[in-house]
Chain A
Amino acid sequence: MKKYLVSTVAAAALLFGAATAMAQDVDPNAKQGGEIVITYKDDVATLDPAIGYDWQNWSMIKSLFDGLMDYKPGTTELVPDLAESYEISPDGTTFTFKLRKGVKFHNGREMTAEDVKYSIDRVVNPTTQSPGQGFFASIKGYEEAAAGKADGLSGITVVDPLTIKFELTRPDATFLHVMAINFSHVVPKEEVEKWGADFGKHPVGTGAFKLGEWTLGQRLVFERNADYWHKGLPHLDKITFEIGQEPIVALLRLQKGEIDVPGDGIPPAKFQEVMNDPEQKARVVEGGQLHTGYVTMNVNIPPFDNVKVRQAVNMAINKDRIVQLINNRAVPANQPLPPSMPGYAKDYKGYPYDPAKAKELLAEAGHADGFTTDLYVMNTDPNPRIAQGIQQDLAAIGIKANIQALAQANVIAAGGEKEGAPMIWSGGMAWIADFPDPSNFYGPILGCGGAVPGGWNWSWYCNEDLDKKAAEADSIVDPAKQEERNKMWSDIYVKIMEDAPWAPVFNEQRFTLKSARMGGDDSLYVDPVHIPINYDNVYVKDVQ
């Protein structure tokens, strides 16, 4: 008899029954019913889970659709979602999921394993032009499917209507996270075929909410899915998203009681004012984000090919002052990973702010008189300001950095060229994790795979050794060995800091301001995976 690795959560489910596992998620204080209003400035791009990839629609899609896995609300802990349970083979290459019975799409039809296969095949299919295609690279048959040569992934097998099996080409420790991100969410084939490219404006899923109304440029309305498989959720009956609202207007309306959460956050100019008012401050929830803001240095362009120069830059930046420029809404960073990410090296000290030592290093590298270079930045506020702050710090050690403030796409294009941009301030394009796993900060932005034309590894840093170690760490699938894996990743990032292709500057904090009537645990309002709030689990206190 083969032995299978069984996840601890699945074991708990088996022991205590699936019903109990679900009940854990539902807040006993929550009231059923009520409506809330959330404001945004920008139009929502699309609600197609295969395509939507910006911070605004990411959580909205999570409420309209579900995937095999999800995260415990307010945490980064993986739990089964549409899957009732799962099993992983001892070699970590086969994942078998048992699906819940009776899950219905918003159009009434029951979901089956066929739908899961269809959804993932769709994302990998090149004609969908999905930005999430690359996440499924570890599944067997990916190469052929991604090139359009095969009609689907051969590694996905529908065993029976409620069981689906994934075979990978290598053990992949991030696979469960991949089953939780939006690109894996399940879509109904008939609706996709009916709407074609407009499915993003007419989404139909299995999620807690369904799309009620969408008036382009003005408003979207989510309505409670009464047949949602997860009993007791969602708590709210309706969510109205009002579009085109400037953050300052949103704040004023919140103060007048017209809206519940400003989706774009507290405007910088009002931040101090809000925090100084005890009544408003009590309604602000602060949390970390899986975000790091950093300066990349292109190792192909001298003098950044000299590690001493890069280390000097790390020591030249006055991170406290930069944080001051953004009203202290961030914490200084000393490594690529943000503090709330597993694998964060708590004891690592990083490079201190020491301009004198920085100048010494520059002299050792042969640039005692400094040099001239370019600092690329995105031209929307506050990034040019932050870039100017960095510019001044660099000038203090003799580096004259000319600022090139361009549109986002232009900076990305420059970064993707081998000798395009010597330095880039990542603000506005900074890496926010796709999922809460340390490997997510490596591949595209620090690994050799990203150091290609058009890639996102703007420092063009390529360390074959570290790539090998990264692959090794990612093959540790056994849940019991996760501590070991995280330690491996910590080591990798510390080694990267020794080479200093980046100068990490700060990790942005999140501040969510809510109206007094909103209820639910604070963690739901700074949920690391749902921005700005976890729509499914919050409730309002003033329901009749």
Chain B
Amino acid sequence: MTNPTVPDLASPALSAGSQPPAKPRPGVLRRLVKRRLAVLGLVIIAITVLGAIFAPWLTAFGPDEQLFDGLTLSGEPLPPNVTYWLGSDLLGRDLLTRILYGARTSLFIGVVANGTALVIGTLIGVTAGYLRGWIGGALMRFTDLMMAFPALLLAICLAAVFEPSLWIVALVIALVNWVQTARVMFTQTSSLVEREFIAAERTIGASGARILFKHILPHLVPTIIVWGTLGISTTVLLEATLSYLGIGVQPPTPSWGNIIFENQTYFQAAPWLVFFPGIAILALALAFNLVGDALRDILDPTQRGRE
């Protein structure tokens, strides 16, 4: 699913007048924490990470433990009470425990899937932007092709071809999400290549690799950082959606999306089973969006226009 917080820079409507960013200046972190929204995002991320790491110590139950007392005699889940702080799910498992362990899944997939997407996208985009010519053209045409593919349908088809597992889900998401990154990297790289000092370096006789690594890549780092952060938000949402449809992370491994999938038939009688994991998904995606947006402001202000 494309990340709608960033307008499509490749479209002619917006590429008028875009400039590549300056190299990252020191003190990024300091400037980041001055922004309240970014701090909020960082706090949420910190809570999620801590919750994920310390889950076993924070909870009395296991995430897979189906407790006899977790259900009424007729198979209904329990609302939040003293024993089950967020209630129990349809198999009698403690919801709070599953949400905390679910954080591990979301973070794992977020990092792995997004990291992979970033690598693929950067490789393709930079190669296309640097080499130009027919290789570049072919790569970009391929990227255009994948952009026109309805993302969720592609993910669903890919998921159906493989046997499900955590790594496969991450791979599937990466294969769907690399496209935006590739586009942006291509645009950045192309305009950098066009700048005069690159031409100047060439005249002096600098080798291609030297130009690439010394002059181009450093300028791309801010974009990579920004996209890396924003991308985790998209990835978290896509994983939640796939798990909600039943084709993402497989139970009993808890994922916020598959908790909703398993329990949604009861959402009228037991809405907490949908809303607690739903809020968790929202919070994490929001956090990465806030931080990513702030990073973009700091590192790459020209992408946004006047603030």
Tell me, yes or no, whether A and B come into direct contact in the complex with CB atoms closer than 8 A. yes
Q: How many residues of B contact A (CB 8 A)?
A: 27
Indicate if the CB atoms of B261 and A381 lie closer than 8 Å.
yes
Residues of A372-427 at the interface with B, using a CB-CB cut-off of 8 Å, are 379-382, 384-385, 388-389, 391-392, 403-407, 410
Indicate if the CB atoms of A272 and B74 lie closer than 8 Å.
yes
Can you list, as one digit per residue, whether each of B204-243 has a CB less than 8 Å from chain A (1) or not (0)? 0000000000000000000000000000000000000000
Q: Is A15 an interface residue (CB 8 A)?
A: no
Q: Is A267 an interface residue (CB 8 A)?
A: yes
- A273 to B: closest C-beta gap in Å: 7
Indicate if the CB atoms of B75 and A324 lie closer than 8 Å.
yes
- B199 to A: closest C-beta gap in Å: 55
**Neighbouring B residues of A328 by C-beta, 8 Å:** 74-75
Indicate if the CB atoms of A324 and B74 lie closer than 8 Å.
yes
Candidates A267, A385, A404; contact of B91 at CB < 8 Å: A385
Q: Is B164 an interface residue (CB 8 A)?
A: yes
Candidates B75, B160, B268; contact of A248 at CB < 8 Å: B268
**Neighbouring B residues of A101 by C-beta, 8 Å:** none
Grouping DSSP codes into helix (H, G, I), strand (E, B) and loop, the B interface class, with mixed when no group exceeds half, is: loop
Interface Cβ pair total, 8 Å cutoff: 74
- B155 to A: closest C-beta gap in Å: 14
Q: Is A269 an interface residue (CB 8 A)?
A: yes
Q: Is B266 an interface residue (CB 8 A)?
A: yes
- B50 to A: closest C-beta gap in Å: 28
Q: Is B174 an interface residue (CB 8 A)?
A: no
- A176 to B: closest C-beta gap in Å: 40
Indicate if the CB atoms of B163 and A404 lie closer than 8 Å.
yes
Indicate if the CB atoms of B251 and A405 lie closer than 8 Å.
yes
In angstroms, Cα B74 to Cα A388, docked, is: 18
Indicate if the CB atoms of B265 and A269 lie closer than 8 Å.
yes
Indicate if the CB atoms of A403 and B251 lie closer than 8 Å.
yes
Q: Is B56 an interface residue (CB 8 A)?
A: no
Q: Is A128 an interface residue (CB 8 A)?
A: no
Can you list, as one digit per residue, whether each of B44-74 has a CB less than 8 Å from chain A (1) or not (0)? 0000000000000000000010101001011
Candidates A325, A326, A405; contact of B246 at CB < 8 Å: A405
Indicate if the CB atoms of A385 and B74 lie closer than 8 Å.
no
Q: Is B279 an interface residue (CB 8 A)?
A: no
Indicate if the CB atoms of B269 and A273 lie closer than 8 Å.
yes
Q: Is B150 an interface residue (CB 8 A)?
A: no
In angstroms, Cα B225 to Cα A352, docked, is: 60
- B221 to A: closest C-beta gap in Å: 41
Q: How many residues of A contact B (CB 8 A)?
A: 30
Indicate if the CB atoms of B91 and A389 lie closer than 8 Å.
yes
Q: Is A169 an interface residue (CB 8 A)?
A: no
Indicate if the CB atoms of A391 and B252 lie closer than 8 Å.
yes
In angstroms, Cα B269 to Cα A324, docked, is: 17
Known: A392-B66, A403-B252, A407-B160. A379 touches B90 (CB 8 A): no
Q: Is B297 an interface residue (CB 8 A)?
A: no
Closest B residue, CB atoms, query A268? B265
Q: Is A270 an interface residue (CB 8 A)?
A: yes
**Neighbouring A residues of B91 by C-beta, 8 Å:** 325, 385, 388-389
Can you list, as one digit per residue, whether each of B64-97 has a CB less than 8 Å from chain A (1) or not (0)? 1010100101111000000000000011000000
Q: Is A327 an interface residue (CB 8 A)?
A: yes
**Neighbouring A residues of B160 by C-beta, 8 Å:** 407, 410
Indicate if the CB atoms of A381 and B76 lie closer than 8 Å.
no
**Neighbouring B residues of A392 by C-beta, 8 Å:** 64, 66
Closest B residue, CB atoms, query A247? B265
- B119 to A: closest C-beta gap in Å: 29
**Neighbouring B residues of A388 by C-beta, 8 Å:** 64, 66, 91, 251-252
In angstroms, Cα B164 to Cα A392, docked, is: 20
Candidates A380, A382, A389, A403; contact of B250 at CB < 8 Å: A403
- A154 to B: closest C-beta gap in Å: 44
Q: Is B247 an interface residue (CB 8 A)?
A: yes
In angstroms, Cα B93 to Cα A391, docked, is: 14
**Neighbouring A residues of B8 by C-beta, 8 Å:** none
**Neighbouring A residues of B262 by C-beta, 8 Å:** 381, 384-385
**Neighbouring B residues of A273 by C-beta, 8 Å:** 269
Indicate if the CB atoms of B73 and A324 lie closer than 8 Å.
yes
Can you list, as one digit per residue, whether each of A300-328 has a CB less than 8 Å from chain B (1) or not (0)? 00000000000000000000010011111
Residues of B near any A CB (own CB < 8 A): 64, 66, 68, 71, 73-76, 90-91, 160, 163-164, 246-247, 250-252, 261-262, 264-270
The 6 A-B pairs with the shortest beta carbon distances in the complex, nearest first, are: A379-B246, A269-B266, A327-B75, A324-B75, A269-B269, A392-B66
Q: 21 A-B residue contacts at CB 8 Å?
A: A267-B265, A268-B265, A268-B266, A269-B265, A269-B270, A272-B76, A321-B68, A324-B73, A325-B75, A327-B74, A379-B246, A380-B246, A381-B262, A381-B265, A382-B90, A388-B66, A388-B251, A389-B66, A392-B64, A403-B250, A405-B251
Known interface pairs A384-B251, A405-B164; 8 further A-B residue pairs with C-beta atoms within 8 A, sorted by A's residue number: A268-B266, A271-B74, A324-B71, A324-B73, A381-B261, A381-B264, A384-B262, A389-B91
